[in-house]
């Protein structure tokens, strides 16, 4: 019965468990953090506008790489398309809407504690605890966001918080991505090359 | 009222077989899947999987679409409405069976009695 639960859970979440796609998206944020912190020695430009173009370009490249990685997952494990209800599109829409509302609240009330970061932390905690913690690596992502939420209260400067935000986004994507990939690879067994075609 | 054994004999044998139950569970959790994915998730070899799929298609529980993808045979599968009802009914019956087995269980005296 536990095995049938694995079959159901991994099939429902198959597209979201293709974690290496998230890892690719995390890299531009870590590069951006390095640039903001001055670790790249002003490369590709000290002008924030030019650096912004580079960031958008690297993000576009990361999206393209994530599609290549999706094709790799499909070649390795096959294709399973989620339903609208079970694929997470509707929860994502609800969370995004609530997140925008929380950002509006933060902007209006200018709290030193970052409530949007705490909100994200709560979302990641709930993902980390669902179904007996099968994606418990999201608890680490939640922890990173809690630390970020506290930086304003701890008196950390805005410049440092800008760097920290990029680090948190990049690190969060990489932790989530590597963890999801591990869950997926632990749950699926790709067929041997000579046994991979329908008879 | 039928007892647990009578309920057991009422279970749909097409659905009850472990390999086919895994296939139906996977297809119930998604809109569609291809042959390779079902192999990855069930760990069945291609011969066994093909035989199970044929049985499920004959029973009208699964719709199979065969084609080519980059000149390689490619098979996509989805659960039919009948298949969705069959697996729903199967779990319902299994639940009834579990409950009736619990109700009819005779308490075992402890060793100290």
> Is A5 within 8 Å of A132 (Cβ atoms)?
no
Query: How much is the pLDDT for A141?
Result: 96
Q: From the list B29, B31, B49, which residue is nearest A8 (CB)? A: B29
Q: Tell me the per-residue pLDDT of B33-63, one tens digit each, with 9 for 90 and over.
A: 999 999 999 999 999 999 999 999 999 999 9
Report the DSSP pairing between strands B32-34 and B62-69: unpaired
SS3 B66: strand
| In chain B, % of residues over pLDDT 90 | 58
Contacts of B48 (CB under 8 A, 6+ apart): B19
Is this complex scored with an ipTM above 0.90? no
Structural tokens at position B59: 């029973």
Whether A29 is in a domain gets the answer: yes
Place of tokens 């430009």: A45
| Mean pLDDT in residue range A161-168 | 92
Whether A11 is in a domain gets the answer: yes
B25 touches chain A (CB under 8 A): yes
Q: How many residues does chain B have?
A: 113
Q: By residue range, what is the domain housing residue A178?
A: 2-192
Number of folded domains that form chain A? 1
B-chain residues within 8 Å CB-CB of A88?
A: none
What mean pLDDT, rounded, does chain A reach? 89
Domain ranges (residues) in chain B: 4-101
For each successive 10 residues of chain B (113 residues), what is the average pLDDT?
Answer: 61 86 95 95 93 95 91 91 93 85 69 53
Beta-bridge partner residues of A80: B33
Whether A197 is in a domain gets the answer: no
Q: Tell me the per-residue pLDDT of A29-63, one tens digit each, with 9 for 90 and over.
A: 999 999 888 888 777 777 888 888 999 999 999 99
Q: How far apart (Å, rounded) are the C-alpha atoms in residues B113 and B110?
A: 6
Q: From the list B21, B29, B46, which residue is nearest A11 (CB)? A: B29
8 Å CB contact of B25 and A187: no
Whether A199 is in a domain gets the answer: no
Check if CATH label 1.10.10.10 holds for domain B4-101: yes
Beta-bridge partner residues of B65: B76
């Amino acid at each position: 019965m536990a095995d049938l639960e694995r079959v159901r859970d991994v099939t429902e979440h198959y597209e979201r468990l293709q974690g290496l796609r998230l890892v690719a998206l995390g890299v531009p944020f870590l590069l951006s953090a390095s640039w903001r912190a001055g670790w790249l020695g002003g490369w590709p430009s000290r002008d924030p506008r030019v650096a912004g173009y580079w960031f958008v370009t690297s993000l576009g490249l990361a999206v393209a790489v994530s599609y290549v990685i999706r094709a790799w997952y499909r070649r390795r494990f096959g294709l399973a398309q989620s339903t609208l209800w079970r694929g997470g599109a509707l929860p994502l829409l609800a969370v995004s809407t609530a997140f925008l509302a929380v950002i509006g609240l933060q902007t209006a009330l200018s709290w030193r504690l970052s409530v949007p970061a705490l909100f994200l932390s709560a979302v990641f905690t709930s993902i980390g605890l669902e179904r007996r913690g099968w994606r418990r690596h999201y608890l680490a992502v939640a922890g990173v966001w809690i630390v970020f939420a506290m930086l304003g209260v701890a008196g950390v400067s805005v410049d440092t918080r800008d760097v920290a935000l990029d680090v948190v986004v990049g690190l969060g994507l990489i932790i989530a991505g590597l963890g999801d990939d591990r869950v997926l690879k632990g749950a699926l067994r790709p067929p041997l090359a000579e046994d991979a075609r329908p008879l | 009222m039928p007892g647990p054994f009578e309920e057991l004999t009422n279970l749909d044998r097409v659905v009850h077989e472990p390999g086919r139950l895994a296939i139906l569970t996977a297809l119930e959790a998604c809109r569609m899947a291809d042959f390779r994915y079902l192999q990855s998730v069930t760990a069945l070899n291609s011969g066994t999987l093909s035989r199970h799929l044929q049985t499920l298609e004959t029973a009208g529980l699964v719709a199979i679409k065969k084609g080519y993808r980059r000149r390689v045979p490619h098979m996509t599968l989805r659960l039919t409405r009948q298949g969705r009802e069959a697996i729903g009914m199967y779990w319902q019956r299994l639940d009834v069976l579990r409950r009736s087995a619990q109700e009819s269980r005779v308490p075992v005296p402890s060793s100290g009695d």
